[in-house]
Structure 1
């Protein structure tokens, strides 16, 4: 079960990143055009991010890489604290951005999505255990 969830979590990250990039691009385009209608892509990015969060929480609970006794080790510290907190901040930014955009009027809703989703994307890119960071994670 752990390996299946780990592969799902690793593979879904690309879906989340692609949806976030698409939502950011769409938000920028719609903001520049002055478009006032909402876009479902923003909700799809939010949903995929929340699914990723749920899988991540389950992995956090059952993972052998989460060890509070080994917090001084770089690998354990990353997965126990750094990755988890940064991803929670990113998901919170996406959620707040989506909620605020739904309440915003006119083209301001797209600028709100652009701002919050872009901040979340930067935090996610830093928090992902990319293979070149030597954290024991692969591409999938």
Structure 2
């Protein structure tokens, strides 16, 4: 029962993350190209995105260790690694999402050390672009050739 709640939460919260990443990409690109000054809004959006990513990661780890698909993957590795959907959730999804969050975190740290607003926006844009590409390609979208899951799950 708790597994299904976390699964629905994990599915729903991806939309908040996708929206935050898109807003952050747009704002950082405009800030970089138009030479805006960093404002409280920019820092807040970056912190909210980072917090949502970490919360999503924690929920995802809970799901990973409770998932019957992952349990099958672990128990039957030699056979399961040949099955696309099982391999995706047992290995690929968690690995790529972890890398995406690490890339975003590195960008967050580097942006705060950047000497100017222009450099901060550029750093945010570059690292957020990479993290977004990694994350978006690792989400099990309805249209994904890797594995397909519903866009919205009910609680």
What band does the TM-score fall into relative to the shorter chain?
A: over 0.9
Contact 1:2 1:62 in 2 (8 A): yes
Measure how far apart 1:137 and its partner are: 1.4
Matches within 5 A, 1:76-87: 76-87=86-97
User: CA offsets per residue over residues 58-82 of structure 1, 9 Å max, x none?
Assistant: 1111111112212221111000111
- Structure-1-length-normalised TM-score: 0.94
- Structure-2-length-normalised TM-score: 0.86
2:125 to 110, 114, 118: 114
Aligned residues between the structures: 140
Measure how far apart 1:133 and its partner are: 2.5
User: CA offsets per residue over residues 85-113 of structure 1, 9 Å max, x none?
Assistant: 11011000110000110111111011001
Aligned-residue CA RMSD in angstroms?
1.2
Unaligned runs of 5+ in 1: none
Measure how far apart 1:139 and its partner are: 0.9
Larger Cα Rg: Structure 1 or Structure 2?
2
Measure how far apart 1:9 and its partner are: 0.3
Unaligned runs of 5+ in 2: none
